[in-house]
Structures are given as structure tokens and as C-alpha cells.
Amino acid sequence: MNDKPIGIFDSGVGGTSIWKEIHKLMPNEDTIYLADSKNAPYGEKTKAEILDLSIKNTELLLGKGCKLIVVACNTATTNAIAYLRKNYDLPFIGIEPAIKPAALQSSSKNIGVLATKGTLASDLFYVTSKNHASGISIIVKEGTGLVPLVESGKVDTKETEELLRKYLNPMLQKNIDHLVLGCTHYPYLIPVLKKILPDSVKIIDSGQAVAKQTLHILVQNNLRFQEDRVSNHSFYSNLDPAVLAGFLMEEKASCATSYLDF
Ligand code: DGL
């Protein structure tokens, strides 16, 4: 079982930001990545639709023999991970907006959260905000339109910068000192975000924390592959594998991207 791959899925290319952290921490682990770009953005769908898509992705990764699944999507995690954990007999790692560290570190007691509509409307987001940010004012903003821009490779464009300014200005007016990135597509926007945000605003992204948690759960379940090897990585997109490949260009590992109808 230990030599089986780690499965990772997202509504599209954004979860590659998580894959990179996982691969950096555990270079000998094989992985299978699903980019459900045909159905992006998940953030504009209903909870029932997000659940159905998450089940579909999980079944596919299970069929490919994965030993653990990383839900590399805040929207799918906050709406579906409880169901997945209850109904499938393998470990799931999720990602949700890192409100807790931002709240703990904030001096101005004002933090911003940029996430999808689906994440911000979820019960899990509500509970986490309530439990981990008492005495903190959270300024939330739906990042409508950002996922399609990243999906079409329009990362550092004027259009993207203007949209981000529109979402961030109200947060800056409220004196935020931390911005939580609540969507795995958004780390690709960090160069543009840095043009807009003053240095005093710290950007919080949970990619590294997810990779560490993945390692911890693999070890705890005796699933960690122990030997050195050149690992294999299959990336599947149900829309355009060339776009997905564009997000993996700098990787030294062999990352085969292909089309799969799912
Ligand atoms: N990467 C997904 C997330 O982390 C994007 C969701 C979407 O497709 O709207 O939420």
C-alpha cells in the first residue's frame, strides 16, 4: 500500500500550488492530480453540486489506487470533506482558510479573507471564524471572477489587477494587517497582490501547512513510502492539459499532463 500514489483534486489548476508543497516535502511519493477545470468554478455552485463533484473525483482517484486523498480546494473541503471522511475508508486531507494563524498574529485585530462564495457560505467557515477569531474583525470578500482568470492563464494582467484592487480596497480601508488566501488558485496571484498591498500586510497561504499535515497523516497511518526513488506524477485535466502544464513548467520532476474525460 505504501508505494501507492497520493491522490489530489481541485476544481482546476489551483491545487497545483498544493501539489508543489507536497512534492517539495516528499519528493519520493508518487501522485495523481485531477484538475476538474470543465466544472470550474466550484465556488459558484450549490453545496449539493460541490458534493457530487467531490464524490466523482474521489471515486476516480480511488479507482486509480490512491492511498490518501488531498482535497486541494477550499470550496470542496468546506462543503464536502465531512461527507467524504464519513463515507470512504481512506484518509482525507483538506484545506480551509487559515483564519486561526492570522487572528493570532494580527496586531490591528483586523484581518481580510479572500475566498470563493461557496467557501464563505459554508458552515465550516462560519464555525472556524467563530471559534478562532474572537475579538477579531474579519473582512471577507468573494473573489468572483478570479478563478476563471487563473484558469485561463491570465495571472499577471491589468484585468486581474483591477479586480483585485476592487476586492482589496475595502479591506485596506479597514486597516487589515493579514490577508488570508482562501482559495488554492490565489497563490498564483501573489505577485499582483504584492503590487497592491503595502508591506505591512502579511499574506497567509496554507500550502505548506497542508503538505506537513499530509506527511503527518501518512506517517500516522503507516502509509509513508520509505525508499528513495524517482517518483511518478500524472496530471489529468478534463478541459485543456496544456493550460495545466503551464502551471508545472518550472518543475524538475517528470509531470505528465493528459486529457481525461471525467
Ligand atoms: N481552488 C478552489 C478553492 O480553493 C477554487 C474553487 C472554485 O473553483 O471556485 O476554493
Residue 20 falls inside a structural domain: yes
Same domain, 179 and 211: no
Give the separation between CA 46 and CA 80, rounded to whole angstroms. Answer: 11
Domain around 222:
6-95+207-259
Of 8, 18, 34, 42, the one to substitute when testing ligand 1's pocket (max ligand atoms within 8 A of C-beta) is 42
Tell how far the Cα of 229 is from the centroid of ligand 1, in angstroms: 32
pLDDT at 76 exceeding the cut of 90: yes
pLDDT tens digits for range 195-247: 999 999 999 999 999 999 999 999 999 999 999 999 999 999 999 999 999 99
**pLDDT recorded at residue 198:** 97
Give bridge partners of residue 154 from the DSSP assignment: none
Ligand 1 within 6 A of 192 CB? no
Same domain, 184 and 145: yes
Q: Is 183 a catalytic residue?
A: yes
Same domain, 68 and 165: no
Same domain, 58 and 118: no
Same domain, 253 and 195: no
Tell how far the Cα of 6 is from the centroid of ligand 1, in angstroms: 20
Query: Any idea what the CATH number is for the domain that residue 246 is in?
Result: 3.40.50.1860
pLDDT tens digits for range 101-146: 999 999 999 999 999 999 999 999 999 999 998 899 999 999 999 9
Tell how far the Cα of 203 is from the centroid of ligand 1, in angstroms: 18
Same domain, 87 and 14: yes
Query: What is the C-alpha radius of gyration for the chain, rounded to an integer number of angstroms?
Result: 18
Same domain, 195 and 223: no
pLDDT tens digits for range 18-35: 999 999 999 999 999 999
Residue 145 falls inside a structural domain: yes
Same domain, 141 and 84: no
Residue 1 falls inside a structural domain: no
What pLDDT band is residue 158 in, cutting at 50, 70 and 90? very high
What is the mean pLDDT of the segment spanning 241-254? 89
Choice among 115, 181, 183, 193 that is catalytic: 183
Number of domains into which the chain is organized: 2
Same domain, 72 and 164: no
Same domain, 91 and 215: yes
Written as nine digits, the cell of 215 is 506527511
